Amino acid sequence: MPTNTLADWFATPLGAYLLEKERAYLDDVTPDIFGFHALQLGLPQFDLLRENRITHRMRIDAGGGTDVRAKPTELPIATQSIDLALLPHTLEFAEEPHAVLREIDRVMMPEGRIVILGFNPWSLWGLRSVFGPARHETPWNGKFVSLLRVKDWLALLGFEVSAGRLVCYVPPVKNEAWLRRMSFMEPAGDRWWAVGGAVYMLQAIKRVRGVRLITPAWHEAAAREKPVALAAKREGAGASSRAGSLKIVK
């Protein structure tokens, strides 16, 4: 039966297999990302930031069943206010994926973190999206964006890629029993075909030139006093040396 939405597809055996791996990755990396505000752009049916410790988390989507209803290119969020942004397969189903990243860049705090989940076109799953009989159905009808292109877009916006990995090296079969039977391909793929995972999971940090960490006032005062004290000490030593070299004339 054809799936109408990506959320519907995640209810299929193949979708559930992928969702399990994505949740495991996010549950592992997001607890260590701190701040005040976090957003998940897309797939509001799933709380993919469930293990993150940021108190104010919101799920945003253009459809219903979400905390905030908005277009991904027109977020009703203040500039430089978000500490963590998660994009779960958002770019491949967006009309203007680069515009989505520009909007995320606008709302991100300096040193904020972005996590992107995307289908890899250079994989067995990517081949199915091009040549498979169901290529007009979700998720195969998405415009899979390559990992290299996403990295280029992030670099142009001033993001620095900090970590990532690829998962799902099994063929995109529908049968759950066959998926479990071929699970041995996961460690083999990590070792022998690292670029062939069906999905990439990428982390990046927003870097802003000229930003300097503000240290407590007493640190700055101590830093100023130390050179002054050293200079005074050197001057005192120099004076003693000069005094010792004077000759008394009778």
CA distances, 148 to each of 5, 73, 154 (Å) = 26, 22, 10
Residue 1 lies in a domain: no
Is 199 in the same domain as 245? no
Is 130 in the same domain as 234? no
Summarised one tens digit per residue, pLDDT across range 125-184 is 999 888 878 889 999 999 999 999 999 999 999 999 999 999 999 999 888 888 888 887
Is 89 in the same domain as 37? yes
pLDDT of 81 above 90: yes
Residue 103 contacts residue 60 (beta carbons within 8 Å): no
What pLDDT, on the 0 to 100 scale, is given for residue 192?
67
What pLDDT, on the 0 to 100 scale, is given for residue 183?
81
Domain housing 242: 214-250
What pLDDT, on the 0 to 100 scale, is given for residue 93?
95
Higher pLDDT, 125 or 194: 125
pLDDT of 104 above 70: yes
What pLDDT, on the 0 to 100 scale, is given for residue 200?
97
Summarised one tens digit per residue, pLDDT across range 196-216 is 899 999 999 999 876 555 545
Is 201 in the same domain as 225? no
Is 33 in the same domain as 55? yes
Report cis status (omega within 30 of 0) of the bond before 227: no
Is 74 in the same domain as 178? yes
Is 85 in the same domain as 184? yes
Strands 108-119 and 199-206: antiparallel
**H-only helix segments in the chain:** 6-9, 13-29, 97-107, 124-131, 147-156, 176-181, 185-192, 217-245
Is 197 in the same domain as 219? no
What pLDDT, on the 0 to 100 scale, is given for residue 176?
85
Is 27 in the same domain as 121? yes
Is 136 in the same domain as 190? yes
pLDDT of 245 above 60: no
Report, as an integer, the average pLDDT of 45-56. 96
d(CA 65, CA 175): 30
What pLDDT, on the 0 to 100 scale, is given for residue 92?
95
Question: Which CATH number covers residue 59?
Answer: 3.40.50.150
Is 231 in the same domain as 188? no
The set of residues, in sequence order, having a beta carbon less than 8 Å from that of 139 and lying 6+ positions away, is 6, 9, 15, 89, 92, 93, 119, 129
Is 250 in the same domain as 168? no
Count of structural domains, the chain: 2
Name the 3-class secondary structure at 133: coil
Report, as an integer, the average pLDDT of 115-124. 96
Residue 43 contacts residue 67 (beta carbons within 8 Å): no
d(CA 99, CA 141): 20
What pLDDT, on the 0 to 100 scale, is given for residue 3?
63
What pLDDT, on the 0 to 100 scale, is given for residue 216?
52
Of 188, 206, 224, the residue at which a domain comes to its end is: 206
